[in-house]
């Protein structure tokens, strides 16, 4: 297994130093560690890490600002927010802004390593303690579910099925295996979904689907 190349953006120097040490002992390379969001954006372009660990609360430009800037630049590498904030608005906004993960700083180091590898593999990972917030979203506590009727009208049945699986955090490979189609076919469907929903990333699509209660259980479907 190749070492992951991680870039850390966090304004707390002692936390960065401790995180570097923890990750190094677990064969993960911290190729850069900075306390300024703008510097982090520059280094992401320059170093092309496998994954970025991003703090939410920072001066000058915060985590959401960094995510938005990276979206505008078309950066496709996975970004994982690593924060002390368990605020439901921060979670939803981070995922909407393209974060592939939302993790809390009090998690176990080994769990962080597993989460990073899952995120690089294409999964969306949210801290287990925050799953009740996503459950609230699914129940419709944040939106008027009646709006969802027209939102997904342009999707084909297959695209809707794939969107439901994206909402569960499944990677393209897992979706392909579950549906008995190729990875390439899944990618084409995902591109069509993003175009029709006028969004920029699969994470945004997944969050949108979760917010509007689009999930397999609504249709009584099962995937073996």
- Residue in 150, 156, 155, 148 with CA at minimum distance from that of residue 196: 155
- For 7-22, b/e burial (b = at least 16 CB within 10 A) is bbbbbeeebbeebbee
Q: Mean pLDDT throughout 111-125?
A: 91
84, 193: one domain? no
Question: Looking at the 3D structure of the chain, how many domains does it have?
Answer: 2
Least confidently predicted of 56-60, 95-99, 144-148, 189-193:
144-148
105-119, 138-152, 178-192: least confident range: 138-152
User: Among 84-93, 103-112, 128-137, 163-172, which range has the highest average pLDDT?
Assistant: 103-112
List Cα–Cα distances, 173 to 11, 158, 183, 224, in angstroms.
36, 16, 6, 14
Domain boundary among 94, 114, 135: 135
E strand or H helix at 94: helix 88-96
Q: In which domain, by residue range, is 156 found?
A: 143-217
Q: How many CB atoms lie within 10 A of CB 204?
A: 20
User: Does residue 223 belong to any structural domain of this protein?
Assistant: no
- Can you give the CATH number for the domain in which 196 is found? 1.10.10.10
pTM of the model: 0.63
Are 183 and 89 in the same domain?
no
- Are 16 and 92 in the same domain? yes
pLDDT above 70 as % of the chain: 86
Sorting pLDDT into bands at 50, 70 and 90, what band is 1?
low
Q: What is the pLDDT of residues 175-212, one digit of tens each?
A: 999 899 998 999 999 999 998 888 888 888 888 887 77
Q: What is the pLDDT of residues 64-80, one digit of tens each?
A: 999 989 988 888 889 99
Q: Is residue 28 part of a domain?
A: yes
Any idea what the CATH number is for the domain that residue 127 is in? 3.40.50.2300
Q: Output the pLDDT for position 141.
A: 54
Inform me whether the pLDDT recorded for 221 exceeds 50: no
* 193 shares a domain with 114: no
- pLDDT at site 224: 29
Residues 73, 153, single domain; the answer is no
pLDDT for res 2? 64
Same domain, 123 and 149: no
The whole-number average pLDDT for the span 38-42 is 94
Same domain, 35 and 76: yes
The pLDDT confidence band at residue 60, using thresholds 50, 70 and 90, is: confident
pLDDT of residue 219: 38
Are 125 and 160 found together in one domain? no
């Amino acid at each position: 297994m190749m070492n992951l190349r991680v870039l850390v953006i966090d304004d707390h120097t002692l936390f960065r130093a401790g995180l570097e040490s923890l990750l190094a002992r677990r064969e993960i390379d911290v190729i850069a560690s900075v306390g300024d969001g703008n510097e982090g954006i520059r280094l992401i372009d320059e170093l092309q890490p496998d994954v970025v660990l991003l703090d939410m609360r920072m001066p000058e430009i915060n985590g959401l600002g960094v995510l938005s800037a990276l979206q505008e630049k078309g950066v496709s590498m996975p970004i994982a927010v690593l924060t002390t904030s368990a605020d439901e608005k921060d979670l939803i906004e981070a995922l909407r802004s393209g974060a592939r993960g939302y993790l809390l700083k009090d998690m176990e180091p080994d769990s962080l390593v597993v989460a990073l590898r899952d995120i690089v593999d294409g999964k969306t990972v949210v801290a287990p303690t925050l799953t009740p917030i996503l459950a609230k979203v699914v129940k419709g506590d944040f939106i008027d579910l009646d709006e969802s009727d027209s939102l997904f009208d342009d999707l084909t049945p297959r695209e809707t099925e794939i969107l439901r699986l994206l909402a569960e955090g499944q990677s393209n490979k897992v979706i392909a295996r579950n549906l008995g189609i190729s990875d390439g076919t899944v990618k084409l469907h995902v591109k069509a979904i993003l175009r029709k929903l006028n969004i920029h990333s699969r994470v945004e699509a997944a969050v949108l689907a979760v917010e509007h209660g689009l999930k397999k259980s609504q249709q009584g479907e099962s995937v073996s």
